[in-house]
Amino acid sequence: MTGTGTASSRLAFVSLGCPKNLVDSEAMLGTLVEEGYQLVSDHDEADAIIINTCGFLEESRQESLEVINEAIQRKEAGTIERVVVTGCLVQRHRAKMLEWAPGIDAMVGVFDRDRIKEALAGIRGETDLPGDSPPYWISGNALQAARARGRDITGLTVQGKDGHGIGYWEGDDNRFRLTPRHWTYLRMSEGCNQNCAFCTIPSIRGKMRSKPIDDLLDEARGLMAGGAFELNLIGQDTTNYGLDIGWANPDAASPEGLVGLLSRLNDIASEHGGGWIRLMYAYPTNFTDEMIDAIASLEHIVNYIDIPLQHVSDRMLTAMRRNVTGDEQRALMERLRERIPGVAIRTTFITGFPGETEEDHEELLDWIRDFQFDAMGVFQYSREAGTVAGTMEENPELRVPTEVKARREEELMLTQQEIAFGNAAYLAEQSAIFDVLIDGPGRDRASEDPSLQVFTGRCYHQAPQVDACSWVLSSRDLSPGELVRCTIIDSDGYDLVARPVDELEQGHSLPVVS
């Protein structure tokens, strides 16, 4: 294998974790494909394997190590030459990686992904340990990484809130897309300022760094020009976009920030004939009425918000260091429902956080029943070393037993399941009409009518990868990325079953999907 890559330099890539990590993977792959490396899906055909890891939770750490050690076994068997490990697990646990997985050939942290060429080629880094230790590139923060690359950092910080931040300077424009052509992720920022008691993100990714607005808009134009219809906006905290780099001033006459970004992205979608711009990873603090009005009024910003709330009990929100009260969250959710027509709200909660009582749990259950979120996920609290909550978990008086966490999770999810199933059935009863974005063939579904094909797609209230889907029965071939106006004719648990409106108008029957 050569450092510049050749036709015979075959590379397998495993991307683990969240959408932000996927964008990192796409950026590294873009660099390597440009260098001449050939991407293969079969690990048995690869010369090297790169694993972009997740280290957010203990479960994700174990998954990452399992994949790494499997790759090392392939190297020991002589089927591949190199194993390169990148991402959050490397950044968080750099001192332990070789103990956990001896046989790694190179490591790259989250601020150094542009060094992936050197890591794959076996070039040693300037800061490498002596002897036989593998080369590594693991900067402590974005400022260090920028300085090492000769960037002018005079007067810039990584404090996250002072308006003089270095920002997200790495860029995501040269990506080898791993998502389908018609939808993708658009990263707004990296890092987070919130310092929630349970979260390791600030210690891994640092304080919030917003992507400069011009870079972000250029990237959006490129993605839409390349065929993307749906842009899913991601970051650790999308609500506070721009505050760190001075582009969002809440006290200014024109505060810009998220509102300005959404307005400009809406214009870009219009320039490209339409599109869906979807806001993910919003944070409940600083979510202003201006932001709500922007979502409600801008044509191409879909009426959908992903906003992790984590709990509603004041006791728990205070212990979690969320900087918001239960009543403030309730009021925000009501304003979203009142001011954005048909808004779909997705959220996540943590159950079994240290000190959570049955009263806290019942308060959360009651709110879920009352408010009826459109989509919801629940995570059992997982102790993470180095966090405030991790210390709390060591106190047996605060620790929630594993079996109690499991029961509470089941109760929360069964409550949400009843709500979601009922909502889906109601849409079918009303023969609701939606535009459905086709994702592809419904490979594991079949229609009772052999003249109809089954396709999978999504309505505006169904985000990719995390939400339910819509099964579309059609007499014609439908292409991925096609937007088809459909009538909901049935439901299947969380999912919807639909027929194109024009086909129903021609008098076709209404078979169910199985």
Q: For residues 239 and 283, is the Cβ–Cβ distance under 8 A?
A: yes
The pLDDT assigned to 384 comes to 87
Pairing of β 344-351 and β 48-53: unpaired
Q: Where are the beta strands (DSSP E) in 191-342?
A: 209-210, 230-234, 276-279, 301-306
- Counting residues of the chain whose pLDDT is more than 90, the rounded percentage is 76
**pLDDT at residue number 257:** 92
Cα 50 from Cα 10, distance rounded (Å): 11
Over the stretch 167-197, which tens digit does the pLDDT of each residue have?
999 989 899 999 999 999 999 999 998 889 9
- Starting at the edge strand found earlier in the chain, the sheet holding 106-108 runs 38-39, 10-15, 48-53, 82-87, 106-108, 136-137
β-bridge pairing 301-306 and 230-234: unpaired
Q: pLDDT tens digit string along 212-253?
A: 999 999 999 999 999 999 999 999 999 999 999 988 766 665
pLDDT at 162: 79
Is the pLDDT score of 296 beyond 70? yes
**Helical packing angle, 326-339 and 358-371, nearest 10°:** 10
**pLDDT for the residue numbered 507:** 61
> What ranges do the domains of the chain cover?
10-138, 183-426, 430-505
Per-residue pLDDT at 255 exceeds 80: no
Q: 149 pLDDT exceeds 50? A: yes
* Block residue for tokens 């990868």: 465
- Of the candidate CATH numbers 3.40.50.1370, 3.30.300.30, 3.80.30.20, 2.60.120.680, the domain formed by 183-426 belongs to 3.80.30.20
pLDDT digits (tens, 9 = 90+) for 1-13: 334 444 348 999 9
Radius of gyration of the chain (CA): 24
Mean pLDDT of 26-37: 94
pLDDT at 249: 67
Q: Is the predicted pLDDT of residue 510 greater than 90, yes or no?
A: no
Backbone angles phi, psi at 460, to 5 degrees: -60, -25
Residue 122 in this model has a pLDDT that exceeds 70 = yes
Query: CA quadruple 270, 274, 275, 277: dihedral positive or negative?
Result: positive
Per-residue pLDDT at 128:
52
Q: Is 135 exposed, middle or buried (0-12, 13-18, 19+ CB in 10 A)?
A: buried
Least confident of 56-70, 149-163, 330-344, 471-485: 149-163
Domain 10-138 part of CATH 1.20.1050.140:
no
DSSP per residue, 469-510: -EEEEESS---TT-EEEEEEEEEETTEEEEEEHHHHHTT---
**Structure confidence at residue 132 (pLDDT):** 62
For residue 486, name the pLDDT band (cuts at 50, 70, 90).
very high
Tens digits of residue pLDDT in 417-431: 999 999 999 999 999
For the stretch 384-406, pLDDT in tens is: 888 888 889 889 999 999 999 99
Q: What is the pLDDT of residue 1?
A: 38
Picking from 214, 104, 211, the residue whose alpha carbon sits closest to that of residue 167 is: 211
Q: What angle do CA 426, 351, 199 make, to 5 degrees?
A: 115
Q: Given this model, what pLDDT does residue 308 score?
A: 96
Is pTM beyond 0.85? Reply is: yes
Strands 453-458 and 433-441: antiparallel
Q: How confident is the model at residue 449 (pLDDT cuts 50, 70, 90)?
A: confident
Across 157-177, b (16+ Cβ under 10 Å) vs e yields ebebeeeebbbbbbebeebbb
pLDDT single digits (tens) 324-341: 999 999 999 999 999 999
CA dihedral 381, 382, 386, 387 (to 10 degrees): -10
Residue reference for tokens 């094909």 = 453
Q: Is 390 helix (H, G, I), strand (E, B) or coil?
A: helix
CA–CA separation, 231 vs 510, rounded Å?
33
Average pLDDT over residues 280-298: 95
Please write the tens of the pLDDT for every residue from 353-380: 999 999 999 999 999 999 999 999 999 9
Structure confidence at residue 138 (pLDDT): 93
Share of the chain above pLDDT 70, in %: 94
H, E, C per residue of 444-473: CCCECCCCCEEEEEECCCCCCCCCCCEEEE
Which residue stretches of 278-401 are H helix? 289-297, 314-319, 326-339, 358-371, 388-393
Strand bridging mode 136-137 / 183-187: unpaired
Q: Would you say residue 62 has pLDDT above 70?
A: yes
How many other C-beta atoms are found inside a 10 Å radius of the C-beta of residue 15?
21
Please give the Cα distance from 183 to 465 (Å, whole number): 11
Burial 272-296 (b: 16+ CB within 10 A, else e): beebbbbbbbbbbebbeeebbebbb
CATH number listed for the domain at residues 430-505: 2.40.50.140
- Find all residues with CB under 8 Å of 139, minimum gap 6, and list them: 109, 111, 112, 145, 148
pLDDT on residue 192: 92
pLDDT of residue 427: 97
